[in-house]
Amino acid sequence: MEALKEHTIAFSGLADGAHEFQFTLEPEFYAAAGDEDLEGGQMTVDVKLEKSSTLLVVNIHLKGTLALHCDRCDGPLDFPIDGKQQQIYRLTGQEEFEDDELVSLDSHAHSINLTHYIYECLRLALPIRHVHPAGQCDPEVEQVLNKMEVEHDPHPDPRWEVLKDLKDKQQ
Ligand SMILES: [Zn+2]
């Protein structure tokens, strides 16, 4: 996603050693993500940056609640998120080497931007299916869903059958 300037850290002026930063994810972040799951929320991002002459080690810790919709009843759901991610930058200027966790920075680089990694961390911390805790779905929808489940009982979801088979084999 597009880099937001508030997530830029100018490291060139920092002394070697540990530094801490904190961000709050603003509405612009959710808008820029263009991700239907990310409508908003109360999220803080703690960043610990360890600088040495050759490396920047960045630890991102995301914590808070996302404002989602429940996958079961479609009602509003404040979903707790706690995610961590590490990103390492090499300051040696060898651009050809790059993988997911280790990025080589150009020797002229003086800042890094974390928007992409914050988004990645948030996505990884968010389960595919997010629902209310048992019994806390919208009661009206719950009633309809329960009725449907009873009616559908003779033909269960084939995926559950596969899981059941696996479970039977393990026993
Ligand atoms: Zn629900």
Give pLDDT tens digits along the chain (171 positions): 889 999 999 999 999 999 999 999 999 999 999 888 888 999 999 999 999 988 999 999 999 999 999 999 999 999 999 999 999 999 876 655 556 678 888 878 899 999 999 999 999 999 999 999 988 999 998 888 888 877 766 555 667 666 666 666 665
Q: How far is the CA of 133 from the centre of ligand 1 (A)?
A: 8
Q: How far is the CA of 154 from the centre of ligand 1 (A)?
A: 24
Look-up of token digits 């070697």: 16
Q: How far is the CA of 9 from the centre of ligand 1 (A)?
A: 39
The structural domains of the chain, with segments of one domain joined by +, span 5-132, 138-171
Overall residue count recorded for the chain in this entry: 171
Residues with C-beta atoms within 5 A of ion ligand 1: 70, 72-73, 75, 132, 137
Q: Give per-residue pLDDT as tens, 114-147.
A: 999 999 999 999 999 999 998 899 999 888 888 8
Q: How far is 2 from 46, CA to CA, in rounded Å?
A: 20
Q: How far is the CA of 151 from the centre of ligand 1 (A)?
A: 20
